[in-house]
Every structure is written in structure tokens, then in C-alpha cells.
Structure 1
Amino acid sequence: MGARGGGHRLWSGRGAVDALLVYAAHGLRFLAPLLLYPVLTRRFGVEAFGLYVAATALAMIVAVVVDYGASIAGPRDIASARETTGPVVGRTLALRAVLVPPACLIGLGLGLINPVLSGAGDVIGAAVALGVGQGASLLWFFQGMRDPAAAALVEVAAALAAAAVVLATPGLGVGGVLVVQAAGIGLGVVVCAAMMRRRCRPVWPQAGFVRRGLVEGFPLFVGRAVIMAYTGGGGLVVAALAGPAQAAVYGVADRLTAAVGSLLRPLAGLVGPRISTLLSEDAPAAFRTARWSLAVTPLLFLAAAAGLYGAAPAVVRLAVGDGFDEAVGVLRILVFVLPLVAASQVLGLQLMTPLRMDGRLALMVGIGGVATLAPALLLVPVFGATGMGWARILGEAVVVGACLACLRPYWRALFPAGGGRDVPAV
């Protein structure tokens, strides 16, 4: 089936297979939290599970520093330089190695000043190790090569293996669980590194690359850091402002929402590099693809939000058991983040990143971060986890509006008169 005005197919046979494999891997990825959370909430109780939520939020922050925007820019740069991937890979790996020590220091510092984590040095250390492993993920390379399925399956298999060890070892405390999870993530990175080495020989950069890499990657790093501060880091904010019990309540609702929202990540990894390639080959086809994604993706996640809203009591009970009834109300607020995040990811990661609007993307995310964290500082001390939920809704709505404002020069290409029936060139 051809796209009107271009010779690109709607979906190649290889692309369809890759998409199915990636989403199969992502479906398996859900098994780890689905298996762990009911066990950990019962094993730890509300207070200790709140400590676990704060620690995993800390790990996400460390991961953002190690990654330094490579998971966003990497697929784009690899897709744009398929014949010369060695220098891209070498620069990215070298910069990550340089960033590991400061990332660890930042993680230790944030852990020590957080009132929930400050007395648990083993938990802080394990969370930092987990964050380094998460930030070292090599999936970006395979996304840029438009062949992410095998690497995604490897990462999921390693995470599931770690979950199995945790389930089989009831004596593990919070720190022990995090150590096992960090080991699983690390194993996945090692296997993916061997797979990448078979396809690409890294070309290591010359002296002076650090400053250049930090400058070039800074806008995307800031964007990801702010996103993490008000999304994945929400549990850390709630723990600091409302205590571990409210952090546990928020963590349950946030993880359940994130499990559904994470389905956007494979889509971004599949569609984003394709748009990046099309922008240099057939710009109208690139905007057709983005327009199609913008029309379909938020509607799908709005339907998912409606279903999760109705099933919230049963989902919470099934996922974490009794003692977390308050999470039902928080979940029913957070589900409406899903269509907003879907729209912002299509506009931001799938379109603005290929257009190399990194500076505007960072500014947009920064505005969204302020629109989330400022209300959170007022709402969370009074309303706890519920206040953080409403702050997230406000922040995500602002991000969507900021995305549209940043893309105003491209409105005619993105929303042409009479172009709504064109099919994507995926």
C-alpha cells in the first residue's frame, strides 16, 4: 500500500515483524513488576515499600545523568549515519564512561539529604548501582539501526531473571532486592554490548570530546532530567514532603500508570528513527507519518485511561493486595496523564527530536517541570499523593501546549488542508 505523494510503504514486512517482537518483549517486561509488586508490598509493608519506591526514583535520576540524552539522540544519530555508526557509538560510550562518577556522587548526595533514604546507606548504594545500569542501556543503538527486537528481548530476559531471584529469596531486604535488580540490568547490558560489537566497531573520540559532547547533549539531558524530576522522581518528591507511607501510595499508582504509558517507548523507538530518515528523503512523508501518529496514539491511550479508571479498584487489589486503598483515587487521577503524555511524546520525541529542535525541547520540558513541581510543593504537604497526581496532570497539559507552540513554524506541514487521509510512511 503506497503513501499518496510518495513511494513509501505503510509498513514493510520486516517493520511489522520488528514491531511485533518489540511489543512482545515489552509485554514480557510487564511480568517483572506484576510478579514483584504483590510480593514486595506484602513482604515489606507500607513503610518499607515507600523506602523502595524512593530508592527506585533515585535510581532513575542517576540513570538520566549517565544516559545524558543518548537514548533520545542516539537512535536519531545512528539512523542518520547508518554507514558511519562507529564514531557515533564511540563518542556515546566514552561520554557515558566519563559521566558515571559524577552520576554516582549526585545519587549519593540526593540520597543522603532525603529524609526517607538518609539512614539507609545500603539502599542508597544499591539504588545508585541500579541507576548506573539503567543509564548504560544500549537499546538506543539497535533502535537507530531499526532492529531493536533482539536487544529488547535480552533486556527483558535479564530483568525477569532478576525478578525470579527476588521471588525465590524471601529474606532479601530493600537493599538486597535492588542489588539483584542491578545485577540483572548489568547482565542485559553486557549481552547487548556483545551483540553491538558484532555489528559495529566503535571509533573512540580524540581528546577534547568531553566538552563538545557535554555541550551538544546538554539540551536533551536537561529535558530528560526535568521529565524525570516530575515523573519518575515523583516518588522521591512525595517521600520528602509527605513521608514514606504516602510515597508508597503514590508509587503504586504511578507504577501502574507507567506500566501502560511505557508502551509509548517502543513506538517512539520504531517511529522516531523512521521520521528522522524520511526528513532527508521525503519531508512530506515524514510529516504524514507524524500526523498519523498524533491522530492515533493519544486516542489509544485515552481508551486505555478509561479502562484503567473503571478497573482501578480491582487492579490495585490484584497488584498490591490490601492496605493500599488510597492508591485507587490517586490512580484514577494519574490515568489521565496517559493521553497527554502520548501527545507530547509524538510531538516531542517523534518529531521535534528528528527536527533537531533539542534546545526548544529542553525549554518546553523545563516549562512543564516548573508547572508540575511548583504546584507539587503546595499540594503534596497538604494532600499527599493525591496532590502530586493533580500536579502531574497540570504539568503534562502545559507540556502539550508548549510542544504545539514550539512546532508552530511546521504547522502547515503537519496539519495541511485536505491532508488528513494520507497514510503514514512507516
Structure 2
Amino acid sequence: MRKNLLQSFASLGLVQLINYVFPLITIPYVSRIIGPEGYGIINYATAFVAYFNILISYGFDYTATRRIAADPDSLGTVFSEVLTARIYLFLISTVLFIISLFIFTPLSDHKTVAVIVFCSCLSTCLTPQYVFQGLQYLNIFAFTNFIRGLLNCLLILLLIKQADDFIVLPLINLVLGVGISLFLIVFAILKFRIKFHFVQFKKVWKLLIEERMMYLSSFVVSIYTTTNIIVLGFFATNAEVGYYTTAQSLIFIVINVINLPLSTVLFPYISKSFSNDQEEGLNVLRSILPVLIYILTFVGILIYFLAPFSIHLIYGNKFDNAIGPLKILAFLPLISMINTFLGIQTMLNLKMDKDFFNVTAMAALIGFSLNLLLSSQFGFMGTSYSYLLIEIFVFAALYITLLKRNVNLLLADKFTPNAMINIIKRIVFK
């Protein structure tokens, strides 16, 4: 099991790293052509459409993964229920998006970009990520991400030649995203002999009610992660939105290279440990978490001190104003990873969905208010501080909530050098 776990993480981690090597080739090229304003337009539309992606996803990548990991024989049923539910949710999202086009000025000013970005929700609707996660069959999933990164790099270099070509970026993402999702869903059906049947609306509605806590938690989290961009758009220019989203994008690269593979690989493994014995699952988390904290603390230090060099090298001098936000968010990957372990990896596996939602709902309320205040007063720098402060609040709230249930993942003896060596040996050599 540990060998498979290590191989899965190494595979996903390597592919994610390669996927973000490609942008290191294309971003210096694109940023010098489209500039901060072009990035601001695209990233604003992406942030707005993120709400619809969350609705369509509905947290199934966690809840369906958990169901399949616990009972692989339920694969066909889970697949049919999730795909049917997501089709309904996509249709609802389409209606809501059309209405939004006529209400929100930043979207109506750039309708073409907004429509293209929204159409990428088809990828979220179709992707069977939960199937591969639940069965811990991640190699094909990682490989397709690599192919997508390679094609994305080639198409950008071939098609983007002038500032007005910024619209090509979301178009490329749409074509590749939907194409890869179609391939994955066909591959999953053939590989695992899944028989899809369209589920009745009554049963879909029951599923949506049962899984609502995970969706609501994802939605409220977006209020203090994605809404910051939406709010900033009302107080700042497209260029200023571009400065902030540039810094946030670099931080998300680190999160996607390290945190995302960990979450994808570990969630079904940890879920299975919890299904065997609760204390076994907690001990796995207590052993792994300190190693990751040390690694991501070092990563945060590097991000902070290399911020000026990174911005100049990747984006050019036009993006100098992104250096400040990048320094402020330098330790976000560390805090985000801890919050993922405390919330998703621990609370969800302990069936503390409601507690997780309560924390994230409180964070959303405080985060939105804080973001509104700081963004209006200090622009994109205020947005950066707001994001950091609310993630720190989430950490404190999750940790205290777990302590009240007599669950403590941060044990001092697990942070000693000997403990570090032992856990690495167990993962690598057993």
C-alpha cells in the first residue's frame, strides 16, 4: 500500500511539476504580449465562473471518492448518479450564467471571454476524477495532464502573436479541457466496464440533499478565496486585478505541484485507514503532517526572498507591482496544506462534515467583510492581506474544533528529527 502511495504521489507530483514547467516557458512569452490588463480580464472571468464550477462539481470529487474507496463494487451506481447530477447542475448553471452576463458589468464588457471561460465548465461536468481517485488508479490521469500541458504550450506559442490574442488563452483551455475530460470518461467506462444509466431526477435530488454539506463547504470556501478577485474588480482597474492574480497564480502553482497531488493521492488512502480504524487514520495523519510542514515552510521562505527575481524572470518589469502580493502570500501553500489536512483529510473522514461547514461558513462571512474593507481601502495589497489573514483564521478555527473533539494532529514528538527519519523510511522502504 505504501509503495503504491509513494508511486502515485511521485507520478502525480512529477506530472504536475512538468505541467508547470510548460507555463514557465509560455508565461514569459504571453505576459510580455498581453500585459497585466489582458491577464486581469481573463482572471476576473475565471474567478466568476469558478462559482459555477463549484456548483457543478458539488464536492463529488471527495464524497464520491470516499464512497468508491470504501466500496469499489458501488462504482457503477456512483458513476451514474454523479454524472447525471452534474448534467442537471450544468444546465442550471447555464441559465444562471446567462442572467449574470446582463447584471455584472465586468462580464458584460467582455462577453466573449466570459462565454468561452464558462463553456470550460463542461470539463468539470464530464471529468471522472473521483473514479480514478477512489480506485487509486492515477497514472492515466496524470499522463493526460502532461499531454494537456504539452499541447497547451505548443498552441500558445503558435497562436498568440499580439495583445488582442489574449482571448485565445481561454479558448485553448476550453478545447483541451473538454477534450481530455471526454477521453478520461471514455477510458474509465471501458477500463472499469462501467455501465452508465441516466438516474431519475427524484434520486438525483436525494443525492444532492445528502451531499449538500460538502458542496456548501466548497462554496463558502470560495467566498474568501475566489470572491476576493470579484470584489477587487469593483475597486481596481483590470491591470491591478492582473497584478494580484499574477501573484496568486504563482502561489497556486506551488499548491498544485505539491498540495494537489498529496490531496488526490492521500484522501482515498486515508479514508481506507479510517474505515479500518479511526485511530489508525489519525496516526497516519500525525506522521505525515510534520514532514509536509517542514517542507512547505522552506518553500515559503524561498518564495518570499525570491519574489522579485521570480516576477521579473517570468512576467517582466510590467508586473513589478505583483512582487508585494507575492511576498504577502508566500506562506499560503503551507497554511493551505495544513487546512486541507485538518478539514478535508480529518474532519470529512471523521464524518464531521457539519463542523467543517460551520468553520468555513464563519470564515466566509468574516473573509468577505474583511476583503470588502481592505480591498476598498488598499486595493490589491489589501486583497492579499485579506486572503492571508482569513486562511490563518481557518487554521485556528479548524484546530480548535478538532481539539474540542479530543483530536490533536500536531503532536510535538512527531516533529523531532528521529520521527522525521522514521516516517520517511516507512513510506519509502516498506
Structure 1-normalised TM-score?
A: 0.91
Question: Aligned to 2:18, which of 8, 12, 28?
Answer: 28
Contact kept in structure 2, 1:62 and 1:135, CA below 8 Å: no
Alignment of 1:361-372 (within 5 A): 361-372=356-367
**Structure 2 matches for 1:29-178, cutoff 5 A?**
29-134=19-124, 136-171=126-161, 173-178=165-170
The residue identity in structure 2 corresponding to 1:48 is G
Deviation per CA, 1:26-83, whole angstroms, max 9, x where unpaired?
A: 1122134323332332222222221011122223222111101112212211101112
Q: 1:337 aligns with which of 307, 332, 338?
A: 332
In structure 2, the CA distance between the partners of 1:31 and 1:236, relative to structure 1 (3 Å rule), is farther
Distance 1:227 1:160, change over 3 A: farther
| Cα distance in structure 2, aligned partners of 1:283 and 1:16 | 22
Matched, 1:187 2:161: no
- What is the match of residue 201 of structure 1? 194
Of the candidates 205, 211, 214, which is equivalent to residue 211 of structure 1?
205
- Asked if 1:250 is matched to 2:235, the reply is no
Aligned-partner residue type, residue 107 of structure 1? F
1:67, 1:136 within 8 Å by CA — same for their partners in 2? no
Distance in 2 between residues matched to 1:109 and 1:52, nearest whole Å: 19
Give 1:199's aligned amino acid: F
Q: CA RMSD in A?
A: 2.3
Deviates more, 1:53-62 or 1:124-133: 53-62
* CA drift at 1:233: 4.1
Question: Structure 2: how far apart are the matches of 1:104 and 1:37?
Answer: 31
Q: Provide the C-alpha distance between the structure 2 equivalents of 1:354 and 1:111, rounded to a whole number of angstroms.
A: 39
Task: Identify the match of residue 342 of structure 2 among 340, 343, 347.
Answer: 347
Decide whether aligned partners of structure 1 residues 32 and 233 sit closer, same or farther in structure 2, where only a CA change above 3 A counts. Answer: farther
Which is worse superposed, 151-160 or 264-273? 151-160
Q: Using the alignment, how far apart are the partners of 1:161 and 1:148 within structure 2? A: 20
Note the C-alpha offset of 1:111.
Answer: 4.6
Kindly state the Cα deviation for residue 276 of structure 1 after the two structures are TM-superposed.
1.0
Inter-partner Cα distance in structure 2 for 1:43 and 1:117? 22
Which one of the candidate residues 175, 197, 221 is aligned to 2:215?
221
Cα deviation per residue 1:305-339 (whole Å; 9 max; x = unaligned)? Answer: 11000000011111211111111011000112222
| CA deviations over 1:121-156 (Å, ceiling 9, x no partner) | 111110101233245432221111112122122133
Is 2:117–2:170's contact at 8 Å kept on the other side of the alignment?
yes
Is 1:236 aligned with 2:230? yes
Query: Which residue of 2 is the match for residue 7 of structure 1?
Result: none
Code of the residue aligned with 2:39 in structure 1: it is F
**Map of 1:360 onto structure 2:** 355
Structure 2 unaligned segments of length 5 or more: list them: none
> Do the aligned partners of 1:284 and 1:413 also contact (CA within 8 Å) in 2?
no
Check whether the contact 2:87–2:125 (CA below 8 A) recurs between aligned residues.
Answer: no
Distance 1:413 1:54, change over 3 A: closer
Relative distance call for 1:110 and 1:150 in structure 2 (3 A) is same
Residue 309 to residue 233, structure 1, CA distance change in 2 (3 Å): same
* 1:302 corresponding residue in structure 2: 297
> 2:372 is matched with which residue?
377
Higher helix share: 2
Aligned position for 1:394: 389
SS in 1 for 2:120: helix
The answer for unaligned runs of 5 or more in structure 1 is 1-10
Please tell me the residue identity of whatever aligns with 2:269: R
**Secondary structure of the corresponding residue to residue 51 of structure 2:** helix
2:321 to 318, 326, 341: 326
Using a 3 Å threshold, how does the CA distance of structure 1 residues 367 and 202 change in structure 2: closer, same or farther?
Answer: farther
- Higher mean alpha-carbon deviation, 129-138 vs 390-399, is at 129-138
Deviations 1:352-397 (A, max 9, x none): 1222222222221112222222111011122111101110111101
The residue number in structure 2 matching 1:3 is none
CA distance in 2, matches of 1:174, 1:139: 29
CA distance in 2, matches of 1:127, 1:336: 29
TM-superposition CA deviations, 1:176-195 (whole Å, max 9, x none): 32122111001110111122
Partner of 1:277: 272
Query: What is the CA distance between 1:417 and its match in structure 2?
Result: 9.7
The corresponding residue for 2:9 is 19
Q: Secondary structure at the match of 1:324?
A: helix
> 1:289, CA displacement in angstroms?
0.8
1:412 deviates by 4.8
Specify the code of the residue in structure 2 equivalent to 1:179. Answer: L
Deviation at 1:413, TM superposition (A): 6.9
Structure 1 residue matching 2:105: 3-state secondary structure:
coil
Aligned length: 416
Q: Distance in 1 between matches of 2:149 and 2:129?
A: 14
Query: Which position in structure 1 is the counterpart of 2:288?
Result: 293
Aligned to 1:8: none
Separation (CA, whole Å) in 1 of partners of 2:156 and 2:411? 53
Structure 2 CA distance for partners of 1:348 and 1:188, relative to 1, 3 Å: same
The sequence identity of aligned pairs, in percent, is: 21
Secondary structure of the corresponding residue to residue 173 of structure 1: helix
Q: What amino acid maps onto 1:98 in structure 2? A: Y
